[in-house]
Amino acid sequence: MLVVLVTLIILNYVFAENGMHNAVYFIVVVSAIKFIGVVFQFIEAKHAHSAWKALSFVFVAIYLIGVLVLY
Amino acid sequence: MNEKVMVSEDSIYYPPGGILIWMIIILEIFTFIGASLVFMYYRGISWEEFVAYREHVSPLIGTINTIILIVSGYFMANSVHKLRANNHKAAASQILWGLLLGVLFLIVKGSEYYFKLDAGLGLGFNTFFTFYWLMTGFHFIHVLFGVGILTYMYRAVKKSEYNSENMLDVESSATYWHMCDLIWILIFPVLYLI
Taking the CB of residue B41, how many other CB atoms lie within 10 A of it? 12
* Residue B28 backbone class (left: φ over 0; alpha: ψ -120 to 50; beta: rest): alpha
Long-range residue pairs from B42-51, CB within 8 A, at least 24 positions apart, any chain: B42/B127, B42/B131, B43/A70, B43/A71, B43/B190, B43/B194, B44/A70, B44/A71, B46/B127, B46/B128, B49/B126, B49/B127, B49/B128, B50/B127, B50/B128
Three-class SS state of B43: helix
Interface test with A, best of B32, B72, B182 (most A CBs within 10 A): B182
**What is the mean pLDDT of the segment spanning B10-28?**
85
Mean pLDDT of B63-86: 95
pLDDT at residue number B6 = 53
CA–CA distance, B102 with A67 (Å, rounded to integer): 28
Task: Give this prediction's pTM.
Answer: 0.92
Kindly provide the ipTM of the predicted complex, given to two decimals: 0.94
Give A45's contacts in chain B (Cβ within 8 Å).
15-16
Size of interface A-B (CB pairs under 8 A): 113
Radius of gyration of chain A measured on its C-alpha atoms: 13
pLDDT score of B3: 47
Give the model's confidence band at B2: pLDDT under 50 very low, under 70 low, under 90 confident, else very high.
Answer: very low
DSSP assigned state of B168: H
Residue A60: which of A21, B162, A38, B78 has the closest Cα?
Answer: A38
A17 band by pLDDT with thresholds 50, 70 and 90: confident
Residues 6+ apart with CB under 8 A from A17: B59, B60
| Beta-carbon separation of A49 and B188 below 8 A | no
Task: List CB contacts (< 8 A) between A16 and chain B.
Answer: 59, 189, 192-194
Rounded Cα distance between B53 and B128, Å, is 7
Distance from CA of B11 to the nearest CA of A (A): 6
Testing the interface with B: which of A8, A17, A38 to mutate, by most B Cβ within 10 A? A38
Assess B55–A contact: CB distance below 8 Å, yes or no: no
Q: How far apart are CA B78 and CA B174, in angstroms?
A: 10
pLDDT of residue B12: 79
- The answer to whether B33 contacts A62, with C-beta atoms less than 8 Å apart, is yes
Chain B residue numbers touching A9 (CB-CB < 8 A)? 63, 66-67, 70
Determine, for residues A59 and B175 on separate chains, whether the beta-carbon distance falls below 8 Å: no
Residue-wise pLDDT for B25-40, tens only, equals: 999 999 999 999 999 9
How far is B194 from B22, CA to CA, in rounded Å? 29
Residue A68 forms contact with B (CB below 8 Å): no
> What pLDDT does residue B7 have?
57
**Given a cut of 50, is residue B1 above it in pLDDT?**
no
The mean pLDDT of A16-41, rounded to a whole number, is 89
Mean pLDDT of B91-95: 96
Chain B residues close to A51, C-beta within 8 Å:
12
Taking an 8 Å cut-off on Cβ atoms, the answer to whether B188 and A31 are in contact is yes
Residue B14: pLDDT over 90: no
Q: Which of B9, B17, B74 sits opposite A43 (nearest CB)?
A: B17
